[in-house]
Amino acid sequence: AAAETAAAKPGILGRLLGQSVETSRRVLDDAMLERLEEVLIEADMGVDCALRVTANIAEGRMGKRVSTAELKEALATEIARIMTPVARPLPLYPSRPQVVLVVGVNGSGKTTTIGKLASQFKAAGKSVVIAAGDTFRAAAVEQLQVWGQRAGVPVLTAPEGSDPASLAFDAMTKAQADGADLLMIDTAGRLQNRADLMEELSKIVRVIRKKDPDAPHNTILVLDATTGQNAINQVEIFRKLADVSGLVMTKLDGTAKGGILVALADKFGLPIHAIGVGEQIDDLAPFDPEDFARALVG
Ligand code: GDP
């Protein structure tokens, strides 16, 4: 579904060269390379990455006649090469429970992603517990309860405004007692006071480590792909706040801005565990670098 939706948008090179020149061959010259650079930057791939990709494409092709199809193929190959190392599903550990801390700014899709992941793991026969760790946002807790119901997974909550670390500790205790496979902990996404958020996140980590020194096994940063370059800042910020081990990119259904994933992969090399491709429970897809590259190029 991801590839189909993204492919419905005009791809990068489609926009560059237009449909009319589909079968024509033209000489790859400086002007054309510059245009290609511009389009890649415009597509959020980042300046360094765009320059490098363009240079690789130019190699052995400068001054030669190339067809649109060849150019698209070359670009898709370059993009797939950058994306392949980061395409990694959430690694599973034998720990009971495996603890997954989910971080990200409000609105990025944390709640939705937790619901979707819970549903997938449940369907795969895993027992899952969710902790509604954003205790200051009543709406987030309610929303998570709705997702828990849909996925058939218990959601542990605490009174509004109570200590998220205390909830995380209780959830850890329950998940261990139940022999649950997976504990997913939602967290607050208020960046207004970063010192507070950092303290909150590190306190959660401290208390769950009392129960399992290896926890959390994953710290997933959820990023909204439609925010473009902003996603870069968010990775930089959250890497200072928590030990981010991987990404989930949401809202790839509604955007032609997939280029930001290339910039992120190029800059940080963090695994992309999954992509959000809609608002429904099944709208979480594995990240497929080849499909993604083809859809982006168009
Ligand atoms: P949170 O504040 O980070 O917990 O974000 P939510 O999970 O509440 O999501 C914010 C909004 O984004 C909601 O309206 C979701 O339905 C929507 N959303 C989340 N993931 C996706 C996605 O992959 N595609 C689309 N189209 N919408 C999404």
Q: How far is the CA of 108 from the centre of ligand 1 (A)?
A: 6
CA 171, CA 130: separation in Å to the nearest integer?
8
Question: Could you tell me if the CB of 273 is within 6 A of ligand 1?
Answer: no
Instruction: Mark 37-76 as b/e (b = at least 16 C-beta within 10 Å).
Output: bebbbebbbbeebbebbbeebbeebeeeebebeebbebbb
Confidence of residue 7 (pLDDT cuts 50, 70, 90): very low
Q: Is 112 in the pocket of ligand 1 (CB under 6 A)?
A: yes
pLDDT confidence of residue 114 = 98
Q: For ligand 1, atom 9, which residue shows the shortest CA distance? A: 109
Q: Whose CA is nearest to atom 5 of ligand 1?
A: 109
Name the least confident of 1-15, 107-121, 237-251. 1-15
Q: Which pLDDT band, with edges at 50, 70 and 90, does 43 fall under?
A: confident
For residue 12, what are its two tokens?
């990068």
Binding-site annotation: residue ranges for GTP: 104-111, 186-190, 250-253
CA 109 / ligand 1 centre spacing (Å): 4
**Residue 225, both tokens:** 């792909």
Q: Rounded mean pLDDT of 22-35?
A: 78
Evaluate if residue 255 carries a pLDDT over 70. Answer: no
The answer on pLDDT for 192 being more than 90 is no
